[in-house]
Structures are given as structure tokens and as C-alpha cells.
Chains A and B, each alone.
Chain A
Amino acid sequence: MTPPDAVRTVGLTKRFGSHAAVDGIDLVVPAGSVYGFLGPNGSGKTTTIRMLLGLITPTHGEIELLGHPVPSRVVDALPRVGALVEGPAFHPYLSGIDNLRRLDAADRTADPATSGRRLGEALDRVGLAAAAGKRYRAYSLGMRQRLAIAAALLTPKDLMVLDEPTNGLDPQGTREVRSLIASLADDGTTVLVSSHLLSEVEQVCTHIGVMHVGRLVTQGSAAEIRRQQEAEAWVDTDQPEQAARVMRELGLSDVRITPHGAVGRLGEVAPEKVVTACVHAGLAVTRFVVDAPTLEEIFVGLTGEGFDVSG
């Protein structure tokens, strides 16, 4: 049995009054993927995630979460879904572990007999074991975030939905979240991670979707997306015209002369062929660079604005 897509939506739309926060998106999160759900703040990521989890009823469109229709059968899907939605939220006058205990008690699929062990493991995994008995009120923002992740890990999950998991974390915490995502993926868990910080998730994502003003402007595997924008080969040499001619012969397009040599779009041409051809033509190649656009550059092109890299 091939696993179905972990998440699939068709024409998913949410209107608040006349304003469409999410406008007809067809989201596909393949099972086993790490799906980077990207977009600037206010682009509809959180509204989409809330709809996936049954917290908000869509105005139009359909959702399947782990094969169950949402919101009608969301209760059947959610036991296998861990979620971190829009930051942590717990009872401030309860300790961290008591907060987890409450969520575990609310879970009808959780085995009470193993509750203590599972709580300990989840706290260990996020590095909160030492602070488990402290009141939530006294937690730092980073600790709160970790507790929320621990809450999502109380029972085994097929899908983790992490909405801005690195918010409020220091660089060290951000690295830990990345490695946590990687380890979840290794275990076979599908991860849907949303972020307005591209750099944080770029390295771990196998799939990417980009939201812009309520629409999903692009979606696919990371490799596919990179391929959408072709890489350019830069050849530095003292004979620019020669180099340009060789590149045109090889089939590169948009070949231009630069002060130090020539540049052209690679297309289907393998980069190493360019170097070989230049050397065979007797050119002195002083520098060879293949410049693939970063996702950042792709997204600037898609959304017309950059990601907030300062936050």
C-alpha cells in the first residue's frame, strides 16, 4: 500500500468577511516529506494550518489529512498529528510537566499506563527535563517553545505540523529545531514546517510551497523549484569573445560578454562540459563559477518581496 499524501487540499479558501485570507490553494504534502511552507507574515500560512487541523472551517474547498476528510472526520486524523500552532500556549500556573499531563489526559488514544514514561521522553527530547517541575509562568520564550514541541511528541505521530517553530529561539535553539526536524524525518514522520525565515528551513526541506497574499504561488520538491530558475556559468578568461563563441556552440543561451570573460545560461548543459570545451579551445580559464540562484532569490522573484532575514 503506497502511503497517501499526508495533506491534500483542493481549492481551499477561507474568507473573513470579504477578505480572502486563503484563496483557492491546492496543497500537497507527500508522505515522508519535509515540507517547507513559506511565505511572509500575513500570507495565509497560519490560517491554512488552522484549517488543516480543524480549528477553522473553510469557506470553500476540501481537505484530506492523513486520508481523513477535514473538518468532518478530523478527530480520526489528529491522534496521528502533532501540532505547534502559532506559538506555545499553556496554563501559566501549572508546571511544565503538569501542562503536558493535562494534554495527555485529554487524549483518548494515549495509554495512561505509559503516561509517565512518555512525558519524560518528550521532555528529554526537547531538553526540558530539568525544568519540568517549574511553573510555566517562569519559562523563557525558548523553553515555552520547546514545551509545545514536547506536547506534540507525547504520542507517536505520522505528521508533525510546526507553525513557526523557531520563533523566539536563539541560534542554538534554531539549530536544535532543525536537527529535531531531521530526526523526525529519519523516523519516517512527515513534517510540515511553516516559516517566514527561509534560511532556517531551506537546508532540511525536501518539498517547498510558497504562499503569497493567500495564494500558493509555487509548490514542489526543492530540486524542482531550483530547476525552475536556470543556473548561469561564468567563465573568466582573457579572451572573452572566444569564450562566448564556445559557450554558444555548446548550446548555452543568453550569452553575454563580461569585463572578465563571458556568462551564459546553462540550460541542459552540464557545467563541466563548459570547462572542458573552453580548455580544448585553448582558452586560459582563470575562474569558473556556476551560479545557481538561491531559493531566496527565487522567492523574491515569486513574491516580489524578500523574506525577513533580520528576525
Chain B
Amino acid sequence: MLLTVNNLSVSFGGVHALHLDHFSLGEKELRVIIGPNGAGKSTFLDIICGKTKADSGEVIFKGKPVLGKSEVQIAELGIGRKFQKPSVFPELTVYDNLLLAVKTKKDIFSTLFFKVSPAIAERIHDVAARLQLNTVIYKQAGALSHGQKQWLEIAIVMLQDPTLMLIDEPAAGMSDEETEKTGALLLELANTHSIIVIEHDMKFVEQIANHLVTVLVRGKRLMEGTFEEVKNDQRVIDCYLGRTNAQLETL
């Protein structure tokens, strides 16, 4: 297993945001996590990538414990993250955004005297082309459309070349056509990377969920199975069809 999570729990101000007994992900597996709002999906990714500190539990990545490590150490281990709200460098050009992401030495002196080699330039342009950013590559990232920003962030994660990609709602704010393209790209990436995707859009989930889907509800794992199993599970349907509120209120 590439990633193993046991008894992970975190609470904010007394409210359990996440209480996950077990979660595991294999090499080159694409896992989709779904669940209603506040289910703790993003919090789960935040803990893996070091943004949020867990209260207890363990996260093992490539046989090494992840909890307690800094964001940089986790990134160096090979975990890349795309956030729900596109997080790019708005005042830099798309090219510079990508240049910073490329996997090279990232200490002060190497950056101070860094020269772009033809290989790197080629890689940047290559990735940009795959995400249709080549036409805007010298534009400021802040001037891009929402969908383009999403792609730019995916491109940044790709150039980091991580073993595990954590992708939070990649299709939000995209047209149907763009969504489908994103799905195709993720499936392609899954040939070489392990990926966890959080998504709401069921059509999109259906497109990319070629393996397992995990359902989180109120911080706990409700079930895990193929898309078909999940789609037909009564508890999942309940969660998505209004009874959630009634249940929440009784709690």
C-alpha cells in the first residue's frame, strides 16, 4: 500500500471534523472521495498534505509516517495538492507559475543562480500544451478564467511530479466539455501516479471512478466500493436525498 491511514481524528472547537478508522490507497490507484458538505473530505486532504494538524491517528506514506512533518517535507516525500479554491500565483505569468513548480533543487542558492535548461523549458511547454495553457503562457495567472486557473493548478501539481496527487474538486466551475477533458487527463495521469480526487459532480465521478469510491459522512467512512455499489447503496442515497438534514438535527 502506498498510503495507509488509521484512526485519524481531528476536531475544531469540540466538533469532530474527521474520525476515520481506516483508509488505504494502492500504487497508481485513482480513488474518488464523495460525501455531502462538511463530511471532512477537504480536511482529510489537508491533514495528509500537512496543512491541518491531526489530533491523533497515523498516516503512513511509502512506509514513512507523515503526521508531524511540515508541508515542505511532505511535498518532498512526493505528495502534491490541488486545492478546492484555485491556488496559483496571480501576479506571476503562467510560465513562471509552472517554472516554480518544476521538480528541481529548491533551496536559496540554486534558485538564485538558476538557468532554465532546454529540457525544462520543453517540459513546461509540454504540460502547458496538454492543459491548453500554451496560448496564455505569458499572461498573468490572475487574468485567467476560473477553469484555466483550475488547470494551471493541476499543471503545477503535474510538474512537481509527485507520487500521490491530492485533487480537490477539479471540475468545479468548468463547462461540460472542460469537465470531460479534465476527467480524461486524470485517467491518463492515473497510469503513472496515485491520485485521490474529491468530487461532487456525479457524472464526473462516474467518468473517472474506474476503481473504488469512498463515501465520507460527518467525518466518518460510510462505505467504500465501486461506483455501481455506491450509487445503489441505500445509506448513500439517504445521505444525498435530504434525510441528511433530519439526521444531522437529531445529533
Q: Do A and B bind each other?
A: no
Binding site for B on A (CB under 8 A): none
B interface residues, Cβ below 8 angstroms from A: none
